[in-house]
Amino acid sequence: MELSNNRHADKSQPPVVHEGEGDLDLAAVRAFFAVTEDRYFSEAAARLGISQQAISKRIARLESDLGMRLLSRSRTGAELTEDGKAFLPHARALVNAADQALAMLRGRRRPLRIDVLDTRTAAIDLVQGFYEAVGRKADIEIISSEGLRSARGTLARGTVDAAFCRISGTVEDLTCLPAYLEPVHLLVSRDHPLAGRRQVETALLAGSTVWMPGNAAGSEWAEYHCHLGAAFDIRIDTSGPDFGYERFVTEVGAGRQMSLVGERSRLPWHPDTVQIPLVDPVPVYPWSLLHHPQNRHPTLRLLTRHITGGHQPFDPRRQWLPDPDHALFTTDPERR
């Protein structure tokens, strides 16, 4: 609702603001309405939980915006002027509408919607760990998507509350917290020359080819493996359709391919595959928690607190990250 100074207008109608003038400050309207109910500025201020000086400033600003005096003070309290009487029903309607909107939103219960990219990735473990930490009392909904490519839009629109993904490029207007550095493992067949090792030095993969059919073009995980391949002279083969995890482990188990997987990837069990940690350094995949800063879902605060509290920072002495990921994972999240 917008108003302007028009002293010759019908007092039963709200004045109309001219183009270019500002909107009414709801806090100032609420202050005016409180004074009309309590009559004294001091009592209205106490009800609103602000100082008497603050409520006086709000009403002064409202009167200035409207170009008219709404209240006059006396020993018996504040009295409405004629303009104040004309404005009062509209002020009451504004305050009531705002209160009803807030009550509706606060009473609207829905689960916290969390995008985990895929339910077989480490992100699902992060969510499950949070769920267990709060005593299984969090009402959450798991969503899988296309990672950062879709999360930018769903978080901005509010169709998703939080998303776990690797950050690639800028994420303007979104809050990003480092969540988890997942060690990368080598996946080979039991007949592979490296299959008998308890761990494999990453440098030993130089000159070899790893098969990554799920590395979709333009995805943040495909970009990560491009950085990894360039750093350790590993060829990343993305050929062939992605027929799913079962087909993937079958191909590796048959000895036709070797691949890289996350330590917490929930792969189907296969009798002919071996998963071996990479070391010296340990390549780690950077999972971040992304959310919109204006999202006020109460469970989101609990989730961000849990993730921040459990995050272990990047250790460049024994771990490897692509250069673009260093800044986020070496900065204290409490200072971000």
Among residues 264, 234, 263, 267, the alpha carbon closest in space to that of 248 is found at: 267
Q: How many Cβ atoms from other residues are within 10 Å of residue 67's Cβ?
A: 14
Residues 203 and 88 in one domain: no
- The answer to whether 37 and 48 are in contact (CB under 8 A) is no
Total domains in the fold of the chain: 2
142 and 94 within one domain: no
Q: Determine, yes or no, domain membership for 185.
A: yes
3-state secondary structure of 269: coil
Residue 168: the pLDDT is 79
Spatial CB neighbours of 256, under 8 Å, sequence gap ≥ 6: none
Shared domain check, 204 and 57 = no
Choose the final residue of a domain: 83, 107, 131. 107
User: What are the two backbone dihedrals, phi and then psi, of residue 39, each rounded to the nearest 5 degrees?
Assistant: 75, -30
Q: Do 82 and 137 have their domain in common?
A: no
**Cβ(123)–Cβ(144) below 8 Å:** no
Q: Please give the pLDDT value at position 82.
A: 94
Q: Return the axis-axis angle of helices 26-38 and 41-48, rounded to nearest 10°.
A: 130
Q: What is the pLDDT of residue 332?
A: 55
In a domain, 315, yes or no: yes
Burial 283-299 (b: 16+ CB within 10 A, else e): bbbbbbbbbbeebebeb
189 part of a folded domain = yes
Residue 207 CA neighbour count, 13 Å, CB half: 1
Residues 93, 180: one domain? Answer: no
Residues 222, 98 share a domain:
no
Q: Where are the alpha helices (DSSP H) in 134-273?
A: 148-157, 220-232, 245-253
Distance CA 82, CA 48 (A): 25
Do 112 and 130 touch, CB atoms closer than 8 A?
no
Instruction: With H, G, I as helix, E, B as strand and everything else as coil, classify residue 310.
Output: helix
CATH number at residue 45: 1.10.10.10
Residue 4 lies in a domain: no
Q: Is 294 helix (H, G, I), strand (E, B) or coil?
A: coil
CA pair distance 221, 184, nearest whole angstrom: 12
> Is the preceding peptide bond at 241 cis, omega within 30 degrees of 0?
no
Which tokens sit at 296?
A: 């006020």
DSSP state, 333?
Answer: G
pLDDT given at position 330:
87
User: Is 312 domain-assigned?
Assistant: yes
Burial class of residue 13 in the structure, from the number of CB atoms within 10 Å of its CB (0-12 exposed, 13-18 middle, 19+ buried): exposed
- β-pairing verdict for 175-189 and 282-291: antiparallel
Mark whether 34 and 123 lie in a shared domain. Answer: no
> Are 31 and 44 a contacting pair, CB within 8 Å?
yes
Residues 238, 123 within the same domain: yes
In this structure, the answer to whether residues 200 and 307 fall within a common structural domain is: yes
Last residue of a domain, one of 74, 107, 140: 107
pTM over 0.75: no
70 lies in some domain: yes
For residue 144, what are its two tokens?
Answer: 């899988």
Burial of 26 (0-12, 13-18, 19+ CB in 10 A): middle
Q: What is the CATH number of the domain that holds 242?
A: 3.40.190.290
| pLDDT, tens digit, 9 for 90 and up, residues 151-181 | 989 998 889 999 999 997 778 889 999 999 9
List all residues 6 or more positions away from 328 whose beta carbon is below 8 Å from its beta carbon: 167, 176, 178, 286, 288
| Assigned domain for 21 exists | no
**pLDDT tens by residue, the chain, 336 residues:** 333 333 333 444 444 444 435 578 999 999 999 999 888 898 888 888 899 999 999 999 999 999 999 999 888 889 999 999 999 999 999 988 887 776 666 545 789 999 999 999 999 999 999 999 999 989 999 999 999 989 989 998 889 999 999 997 778 889 999 999 999 999 999 999 999 999 999 999 999 999 999 999 999 999 999 999 999 999 999 998 899 999 999 999 999 899 999 999 999 999 999 999 999 999 999 999 999 999 989 999 999 999 999 999 999 999 999 999 999 998 654 444
- 161 and 289 part of one domain: yes
The span from the CA of 51 to the CA of 41, in Å, is 9
Domain stops at, among 107, 126, 143: 107
Q: Are residues 87 and 232 in the same domain?
A: no
Classify residue 64 by its DSSP letter: H
What domain range includes position 142?
A: 112-335
Residue 100, C-beta contacts closer than 8 angstroms, at least 6 positions apart:
none
Q: In the beta sheet, which residues pair with residue 278?
A: 200
Instruction: Evaluate whether residue 20 is within a structural domain.
Output: no
3-class DSSP state for residue 325? helix
- Tell me: do 94 and 119 sit in the same domain: no
